[in-house]
Amino acid sequence: MEQLRIIIDALGSDSGVKSMSVAINKILTDFPEVCLTIVGDQDELIKNGVNSERVDFIDIKQTISNTDNIFDLLHSDTKFSILEALKLASSTKNIGVITAGNSGAALLGSMRYLSTIDQPVPCLAVIFANAKGKCTCLVDAGASLDCSAGQLQRFAQLGSNFMKKLYNIDQPRVGLLSVGTESTKGNKITKEAYKLLAADVSINFVGNVESNKLLNDVCDVMVCDGFAGNQVIKSCGGVVTNLIKEIMVYSMTHDEVTQKVCQQIVGHITEAYKLNSIGNGVILGANQLVIKCHGDGDPDTIKEAAHILVNVAKNKTLYD
Amino acid sequence: MEQLRIIIDALGSDSGVKSMSVAINKILTDFPEVCLTIVGDQDELIKNGVNSERVDFIDIKQTISNTDNIFDLLHSDTKFSILEALKLASSTKNIGVITAGNSGAALLGSMRYLSTIDQPVPCLAVIFANAKGKCTCLVDAGASLDCSAGQLQRFAQLGSNFMKKLYNIDQPRVGLLSVGTESTKGNKITKEAYKLLAADVSINFVGNVESNKLLNDVCDVMVCDGFAGNQVIKSCGGVVTNLIKEIMVYSMTHDEVTQKVCQQIVGHITEAYKLNSIGNGVILGANQLVIKCHGDGDPDTIKEAAHILVNVAKNKTLYD
């Protein structure tokens, strides 16, 4: 069995080393072909039960907080776990990096250490499950907030390549996020991007899509600038959280039978939309895949990140 | 009792004259102080039961479809119901206009016939109910897709004035939609707008807000450009529709007790978030309030539009 190495930044998660250790052990159990290089506090990880022949440690205790100025730290002499993980990825054979640390550091570090092209534009892909059992990848989800039409085209290509590898889709359907389905609908950049995407033979462009169709399987890749994409993701997340909370509050003021049904419904929705694995952003545009898990990502979310890397790796490299 | 006149464009609704007639009769019943000027097909409306001393008709049978080119029609000699309703509003005493017709025609017509300022920027406000029983108004929801920072500031002022009148809020909390709460977060225009809003003493600026907080009552007015705003609204709508559908599908494959609870939950969510009255956009920036109801708005949605106009009118004029 070919070994697949994943590099994990074990610091930076809001959930702490205990939760990260659980995640690491879940990955080791679920993916026997995976071996890990873990960048983090070795003693603490071992204390929390990380102990396997398939694990190498790089002992680093310094992390980047969400309030640190990333641009300063990129030129600092201090070794930060997230940046060391990315540097290591540039020089060793691996299938990708997982971090739950600072988003800016993950993005800038990926572009700095893992990109060979000039002035790469960072792009964050987020995958949504829909009730039809399929997934749509939204690019960009918040890495590049001011985009040109050409950058949106680049995101379309990156997203399309990613979905090809991740789900073995031959010609992923690429939709352009806009305010209406007609080609004339949109803001200035979107209308320009429409023309570029329509003329791009490397992708399967299906036209404009609206954000209320994200869960309706109308495209495999939904392209937008990072500002709009971030609104789509957070809006969806906010509504789901509120509705589930509303059901639970309703449940508490009713009888046992109602409570049981409420729990079943919430469980069903969680399962149908794979809500437990939401929170992973995949940084595209670098030479390796870097998965940025949500800061408070639970062990299952981190394990899902490994799942993505393994899936892509089994279809060989990302950009062949 | 002072009479409050509302002008209704009775054509243009996808639901047809029957549904509109039901809406009109609901308004007449629920708001005894309201009298109506109805622009539409008089014979058809009477045939469908519209018959009251508080109703005047302007008999017009021509409507603007969603595929028509609005710019051409604005200069046409034909009398279109939506444009005639707006013209009438400019020359008669009334508390506002209700239409379920073409959005572009409603926006452009409002700016053309009901604005006295030079180059007015159309702004569409959409009101969201949250489970705390309060509401947040999102501006702009899709009228102006490419905005300057100054235009966002104007939307903030319009939204703030509107919420003052609609809910008697003394100093509505104005939030700026962005990708993070810190003042440094956002795209170029948002960062510029942040400075303008922070320096504007006419509004109560509470800083950046994220779209996952729309239902959490963190602000009374959420300001953004129309492209981002449209994404927020449609994302929320898409998720709500999908989750409710998911609950109903789940219900159908389970026993009667489960089905009953599922229906109760959907009813509770619909009530808590006032989902039946969602679909009304309020055009701000003109001299009268124009409410653009969703094309397939049901009678309750149209009635809710009248409710908004009556509420605002009872606090006197909108822009005093």
Question: pLDDT tens, A139-197?
Answer: 999 999 999 999 999 999 999 999 998 888 999 999 999 999 999 899 999 999 999 99
Per-residue confidence (pLDDT) for residue A276, from 0 to 100? 65
pLDDT band of residue A47 (cuts 50, 70, 90) is: very high
Of A215, A238, A245, the CB nearest to B242: A215
Report whether B188 contacts B140 (CB < 8 A): no
Q: Which residues contact B239 (CB under 8 A, 6 or more apart)?
A: A215, A235, A236, A239, A240, A243
Per-residue confidence (pLDDT) for residue A6, from 0 to 100? 98
End-to-end CA distance of chain A: 22
CA of B194, closest CA in chain A: separation in Å? Answer: 15
CA of A162, closest CA in chain B: separation in Å? Answer: 24
Task: Return residues 197-216 of A near B (CB < 8 Å).
Answer: 210-216
Nearest CA in chain B to A243: B269
* CB-based contact A227 B232, cutoff 8 Å: no
pLDDT band of residue A273 (cuts 50, 70, 90) is: confident
Residue B315 has pLDDT above 80, yes or no: no
A227: chain B residues, CB-CB within 8 Å: 179, 186-187, 190, 228
Residues A194-216: b if buried by 16+ CB within 10 A, e if exposed: bebbeeeeebbbbbbbbbbbbbb
Per-residue confidence (pLDDT) for residue B320, from 0 to 100? 40
Residue A107 has pLDDT above 90, yes or no: yes
Tokens 């939760």 sit on residue: A19
Per-residue confidence (pLDDT) for residue A16, from 0 to 100? 86
End-to-end CA distance of chain B: 22
B228 in reach of chain A (CB within 8 A): yes
Per-residue confidence (pLDDT) for residue A1, from 0 to 100? 67
3-state secondary structure of A102: coil
Residue B131 has pLDDT above 80, yes or no: no
Q: By percentage, how much of chain B surpasses pLDDT 70?
A: 97
Per-residue confidence (pLDDT) for residue B58, from 0 to 100? 97
Residues in chain B, overall count = 320
Residue A313 has pLDDT above 80, yes or no: yes
Kindly list the distances between the CA atom of residue B267 and the CA atoms of B132, B176, B261, in Å, as whole numbers in the listed order: 17, 32, 10
Residues A13-30 have pLDDT tens digits of: 888 899 999 999 999 999
Residues B188-238 have pLDDT tens digits of: 999 999 999 999 999 999 999 999 999 899 999 999 999 999 999 999 999
Contacts for B252-261: CB closer than 8 Å, 24+ residues apart: B257/A257, B257/A261, B258/A261, B258/A264, B261/A257, B261/A258, B261/A261, B261/A262
Report whether B43 contacts B74 (CB < 8 A): no
> Which of A271-280, B32-41, B58-67 holds the top average pLDDT?
B32-41
B179: chain A residues, CB-CB within 8 Å: 142, 145, 226-227, 230-231
Per-residue confidence (pLDDT) for residue A176, from 0 to 100? 98
Residue from B124, B239, B253, B256 whose CB has the most chain A CBs within 10 Å, to mutate? B239
SS (H, E, C) B173-233: EEEEECCCCCCCCCCHHHHHHHHHHHHCCCCEEEEEECHHHCCCCCCCEEECCHHHHHHHH
A132 in reach of chain B (CB within 8 A): no
Residue B166 has pLDDT above 70, yes or no: yes
Per-residue confidence (pLDDT) for residue A316, from 0 to 100? 56
Per-residue confidence (pLDDT) for residue B247, from 0 to 100? 93
Residue A61 has pLDDT above 90, yes or no: yes
Pick from A19-23, A74-78, B172-176: least confident: A74-78
3-state secondary structure of B154: helix
Q: By percentage, how much of chain A surpasses pLDDT 70?
A: 97
Per-residue confidence (pLDDT) for residue B119, from 0 to 100? 77
Let me know if B60 is exposed, middle or buried by CB neighbors in 10 A (0-12, 13-18, 19+). Answer: buried
Q: pTM score, two decimals?
A: 0.92
Residues B94-122 have pLDDT tens digits of: 999 999 998 889 999 999 999 877 778 88
Of B131, B231, B241, the CB nearest to A211: B231
pLDDT band of residue B277 (cuts 50, 70, 90) is: low
* CB-based contact B190 A227, cutoff 8 Å: yes
Residue B309 has pLDDT above 90, yes or no: yes
* Average pLDDT score over residue span B282-293: 92
> Which of A297-301, A310-314, B193-197 holds the top average pLDDT?
B193-197
Per-residue confidence (pLDDT) for residue B196, from 0 to 100? 98
- As a whole number, the mean pLDDT across chain B is 91
pLDDT band of residue A319 (cuts 50, 70, 90) is: very low
Per-residue confidence (pLDDT) for residue A271, from 0 to 100? 84
* CB-based contact A250 B268, cutoff 8 Å: yes
Per-residue confidence (pLDDT) for residue B319, from 0 to 100? 44
- As a whole number, the mean pLDDT across chain A is 91
Between chain A and chain B, how many beta carbons pairs sit less than 8 Å apart? 148
Q: By percentage, how much of chain B surpasses pLDDT 90?
A: 72
Residue A278 has pLDDT above 80, yes or no: no
Per-residue confidence (pLDDT) for residue A132, from 0 to 100? 77
Q: By percentage, how much of chain A surpasses pLDDT 90?
A: 72
Report whether A222 contacts A139 (CB < 8 A): yes
Q: Which residues contact A147 (CB under 8 A, 6 or more apart)?
A: A121, A140, A155, A189, A225, A226
* Average pLDDT score over residue span A88-111: 93
Angle at A245 between CA A239 and CA A251, to 5 degrees: 140
Mode of pairing for the β-strands spanning A280-284 and A290-293:
antiparallel
Residue B187 has pLDDT above 60, yes or no: yes
* Average pLDDT score over residue span A276-304: 86
Of B187, B216, B243, the CB nearest to A269: B243
pLDDT band of residue A128 (cuts 50, 70, 90) is: confident
A172 in reach of chain B (CB within 8 A): no
pLDDT band of residue A277 (cuts 50, 70, 90) is: low
Residue B67 has pLDDT above 80, yes or no: no
Task: Return residues 76-105 of B near A (CB < 8 Å).
Answer: none
Residue A275 has pLDDT above 80, yes or no: no
Q: Report how far residue B151's alpha carbon sits from residue B143's, in angstroms, rounded to the nearest whole number.
A: 12
Per-residue confidence (pLDDT) for residue A318, from 0 to 100? 47
CA of A172, closest CA in chain B: separation in Å? Answer: 22
DSSP letter assigned to residue A180: S
